[in-house]
Copies of this chain bind each other. A is one copy, B any other.
Amino acid sequence: MMLSRVLARLDVGLDHSIERLFELLKYKSVSTDPEFRENCRETADWLVKDLKTIGFDASRRDTIGHPVVIAHHDGPNADALHVLFYGHYDVQPVDPLALWEDDPFNPKIKERNGHKVISARGASDDKGQMMTFIEAVRAYKQETGQLPVRVTILLEGEEESGSSSLYSLFEMYGNELKADYALVCDTSMWHRDTPSISVSLRGLLGEEVIINAANRDLHSGYYGGAAANPIHILARILADLHDQNGRVTILGFYEGVEEIPEQILTAWKALNLEARQFLKPIGLSLLAGEKGRDLFELVWTRPTAEVNGISGGYEGDGFKTVIAAKASAKVSFRLVHKQNPLKIRKAFRTFVRSRIPADCTVEFLDHGASPAIQLSFDSPLITCAKTALSEEWPNPAVLVAMGGSIPVVSKFRSLLGMECLLVGFALDDDCIHSPNEKYDVNSFHKGQRSWARILAALST
């Protein structure tokens, strides 16, 4: 009864909720680039202000990096269940800007492939997703004068750049943040009619390798053939990272990697997603990576090594016959099961160092490390959410694995002992981390309704 009033209010209030999201999307909260530091602070301030209008005790907590927003709201009574909602207000860089159809920080409603979408950097990842929860809570409060459970909200500003400030906050504010469950809205639907709950996530290890050779850029006519070329050294290292079967060659890399039970693989195969169908929207047709593995294994449960960026020598227009003084690459590893990120970091560095000539040097930059995480398939939390989602959407919810990392999830478990629920309404064609990011208006609207249903279900 109360839930249906809340749902009705969400329907009526959709346009206003979009206006609020537009305000938030205008902030250029690119966390990885120091140029946008002030924009991140302003984004946090906007969120604090907005949460206060709902009745939250909200505040900005500054860190060495970007601030975190923490907000509390009582439940209906002292015994009420306590949930922590986590989202992130920071976004990925927008480059290459030339490929955007519109200004990434001037959100618009557009029609894309027959669907109304909100177009902007962060529309999906994660501002739009984060606001689905906040709008659900707002409607509850407005409609009923209270919330069905006790709610703490934690919104961070460094998810896209390693969350390096967040975990020390867990030590400082652990008592404030510890709840019965953590709810995270940063994942995708299986299909636009089929919601999903993510129960396993790959971990992530980020490394930057900088190889230094000569003390300055050299003329390749004078020195070519005699002086070390750091791009050659780097290319060799990166090529050596995989063997002919696409397996990572770093010593001990597969330690802790488990085979997925046949039963689960069978269930995933029933989802009926073919490699060609998966790759077609991105213009590809052949599975790359480890040979002899199923698509679901490749993207969900097998570890990877990917070079995310490479740079060296003359990169401008035209040509310059130079031997560069240095070359660098950003490399990330997606980790699964019990792989130990720190052991792999060490093994990777040894792997690289063993390929550096004695008169050259190598530096490493640490871009964060988090292990993979495997959640329960059938806890009361998961079961309750599955039912609630299945009532909202055309098809019942499915339990899936995820190729991406949400490092905070493993920290919630390891540092705060909380079980997590990973529910999100992004779609595969949202272009997150890419030009022309969007979030379907339907995701935003039914996402709000989904959270209202989940909160109602958790409160009973």
Measured CB to CB, the residues of A under 8 A from B are 31-34, 92-93, 95-96, 99, 160-162, 188, 202, 204, 206, 208, 213-229, 231-232, 234-236, 238-242, 275, 278-279, 282-290, 295, 298-299, 302-304, 306-324, 327, 329-330, 332, 334, 357-360, 367-368, 402-405, 428, 431-435
Residue of B nearest to A32 (CB): B318
Compute how far the CA of A294 lies from the CA of B191 in the bound complex, rounded to whole angstroms: 64
Compute how far the CA of A367 lies from the CA of B321 in the bound complex, rounded to whole angstroms: 11
Partner of A433, one of B206, B321, B334: B321
Whole-angstrom distance from the CB of A309 to the nearest CB of chain B? 4
Partner of A321, one of B239, B242, B316, B332: B332
Given A32-B320, A222-B299, A319-B368; 11 other pairs, CB 8 A cutoff: A33-B317, A161-B319, A215-B283, A218-B433, A221-B405, A226-B298, A227-B279, A231-B307, A286-B357, A310-B310, A320-B433
Given the interface pairs A216-B99, A226-B295, A310-B311, the reply to whether A206 lies near B319 with Cβ below 8 Å is yes
Given the interface pairs A275-B226, A306-B229, A307-B313, the reply to whether A33 lies near B318 with Cβ below 8 Å is yes
Given the interface pairs A214-B284, A226-B289, the reply to whether A315 lies near B309 with Cβ below 8 Å is yes
Are B236 and A358 in touch, CB under 8 angstroms?
Answer: no
Partner of A318, one of B214, B299, B367, B435: B367
**B contact residues around A202 at 8 Å (CB):** 221
Given the interface pairs A319-B206, A321-B204, the reply to whether A231 lies near B282 with Cβ below 8 Å is no
Compute how far the CA of A330 lies from the CA of B320 in the bound complex, rounded to whole angstroms: 8
Are A93 and B235 in touch, CB under 8 angstroms?
Answer: no
**B contact residues around A289 at 8 Å (CB):** 224-226
Oligomer: number of copies: 2
Partner of A283, one of B214, B288, B402: B214
Compute how far the CA of A228 lies from the CA of B284 in the bound complex, rounded to whole angstroms: 8
Are B93 and A285 in touch, CB under 8 angstroms?
Answer: no
Given the interface pairs A304-B224, A307-B313, the reply to whether A216 lies near B299 with Cβ below 8 Å is no
Compute how far the CA of A242 lies from the CA of B231 in the bound complex, rounded to whole angstroms: 13
**B contact residues around A321 at 8 Å (CB):** 204, 206, 306, 308, 332, 404, 433
Are B434 and A225 in touch, CB under 8 angstroms?
Answer: no
Are A322 and B357 in touch, CB under 8 angstroms?
Answer: no
**B contact residues around A308 at 8 Å (CB):** 220, 231, 313-314, 319-324
Are B332 and A220 in touch, CB under 8 angstroms?
Answer: yes
**B contact residues around A312 at 8 Å (CB):** 307, 309-311
**B contact residues around A288 at 8 Å (CB):** 225-229, 232, 357
**B contact residues around A324 at 8 Å (CB):** 308-309
The 6 closest A-B pairs by CB, nearest first: A221-B404, A32-B318, A215-B283, A309-B313, A239-B239, A235-B238
**B contact residues around A318 at 8 Å (CB):** 31-33, 161, 367
Whole-angstrom distance from the CB of A75 to the nearest CB of chain B? 34
Are B434 and A218 in touch, CB under 8 angstroms?
Answer: yes
Are A316 and B228 in touch, CB under 8 angstroms?
Answer: no
Compute how far the CA of A216 lies from the CA of B101 in the bound complex, rounded to whole angstroms: 13
Are B208 and A319 in touch, CB under 8 angstroms?
Answer: yes
Whole-angstrom distance from the CB of A199 to the nearest CB of chain B? 16
Are B317 and A34 in touch, CB under 8 angstroms?
Answer: yes
**B contact residues around A221 at 8 Å (CB):** 202, 204, 334, 402-405
Whole-angstrom distance from the CB of A133 to the nearest CB of chain B? 21
Whole-angstrom distance from the CB of A92 to the nearest CB of chain B? 6
Are A224 and B403 in touch, CB under 8 angstroms?
Answer: yes
Given the interface pairs A217-B434, A319-B332, A367-B319, the reply to whether A235 lies near B32 with Cβ below 8 Å is no
Whole-angstrom distance from the CB of A229 to the nearest CB of chain B? 6
Are B314 and A282 in touch, CB under 8 angstroms?
Answer: no
